[in-house]
């Protein structure tokens, strides 16, 4: 079994793989150039290798990626490749990142950080709000949305959730559930909106000028999903004209965010470099998922969680 590792593994990790899987031949590539020289070799690839190169990998049958989203690998569906993802591994830390950002805006900390840089003692322009009575709208109620709701519930936030399908009473701790056609109603009620939908043909560009017009005045927008769900020019306009009170943005249409992007300079925006789902132990967790899947693959069994190309998530 020929396995290409597109990950910067330690010598100890590589040795352990070779010991535990003696029937596999492992090669390592850590750059696109190295990968390009190996495209005809591997049956299995571990890591988020450039999709354009993997489409040239004629022997590839299984790809294990680190990320939960797999939109960039959609073309592999036509190549008979099974893609397994990191789904479920990122949700807890992403939810904590979102909680941090929600509290930063609720308590006005982004403003006070600016005051500190300016050596300015200013208590009046932005009085911090209590968490009780604030409404958070979760646009997407998968693993991330559910974990965000769990963290917010003890703090007294009113929580709304958008789900693709729903019937009966709302899930525990959720005040109200909205179906996709009622998204604008959810936005109009929310003080802070958290976008965690997958990128699919249906969700691409979902948040444009018309949608931002539906937001409550002064609302805060959080995007930890994909930049392409948002018309960034419309978002920028609504941040500049005061329709939106602020934004916490971890993802952008083009990454890395260009040094001259106007988002960097907006006082009411917190930019993070697509880092919400990362932490120091994530690499070990993803490697363990790969090891479990590799053992299953070698035994002729299924690997999981497999990307559903038709559904898009």
Enumerate the active-site residues: 226, 255, 274
CA 181 to chain centre: 23
Q: What is the strand order of the sheet 2-5 is part of?
A: 25-28, 2-5, 44-46, 62-64, 82-84
Helix ranges, 265-307 (H): 282-298
For 114, the enclosing helix (H) or strand (E) is helix 109-117
Q: Which two tokens stand for residue 311?
A: 């559904």
Angle value at C-alpha 299, between 298 and 302, nearest 5 degrees: 90
Contact status, residue 242 vs residue 268, Cβ threshold 8 Å: no
Return the beta strands (E) in the chain as ranges.
2-5, 25-28, 44-46, 62-64, 82-84, 135-139, 158-162, 176-178, 192-195, 219-223, 244-249, 269-271
């Amino acid at each position: 079994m020929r396995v290409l590792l597109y990950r910067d593994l330690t010598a100890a990790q590589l040795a352990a793989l070779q010991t535990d899987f003696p029937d596999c031949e492992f090669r390592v590539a850590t750059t696109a150039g190295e990968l390009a020289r190996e495209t005809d070799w591997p049956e299995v690839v571990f890591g988020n290798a450039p999709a354009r190169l993997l489409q040239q990998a004629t022997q590839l049958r299984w790809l294990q990626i680190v990320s939960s989203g797999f939109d960039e690998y959609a073309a592999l569906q036509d190549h008979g490749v099974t893609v397994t993802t990191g789904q479920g591994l990122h949700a807890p830390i992403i939810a904590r990142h979102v909680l941090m950002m929600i509290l930063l805006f609720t308590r006005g900390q982004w403003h006070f950080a600016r005051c500190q840089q300016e050596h300015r003692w200013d208590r009046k322009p932005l009085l911090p709000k209590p968490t009780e009575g604030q409404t958070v709208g979760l646009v997407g109620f998968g693993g991330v949305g559910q974990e965000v709701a769990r963290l917010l519930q003890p703090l007294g936030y009113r929580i709304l959730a958008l789900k693709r399908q729903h019937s009966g009473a709302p899930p525990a701790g959720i005040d109200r559930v909205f179906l996709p056609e009622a998204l604008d109603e959810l936005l109009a009620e929310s003080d802070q909106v958290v976008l965690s939908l997958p990128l699919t043909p249906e969700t691409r560009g979902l948040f444009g000028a018309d949608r931002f017009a539906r937001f409550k005045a002064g609302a805060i927008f959080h995007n930890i999903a994909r930049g392409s769900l948002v018309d960034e020019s419309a978002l920028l306009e609504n941040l500049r004209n005061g329709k939106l009170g602020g934004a916490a943005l971890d993802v952008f249409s083009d990454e890395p965010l260009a040094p001259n992007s106007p988002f960097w300079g907006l006082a009411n925006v917190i930019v993070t470099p697509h880092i919400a789902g990362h932490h120091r132990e994530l690499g070990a967790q993803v490697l363990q998922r790969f090891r479990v899947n590799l053992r299953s693959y070698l035994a002729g069994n299924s690997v999981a969680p497999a990307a559903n190309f038709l559904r898009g998530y």
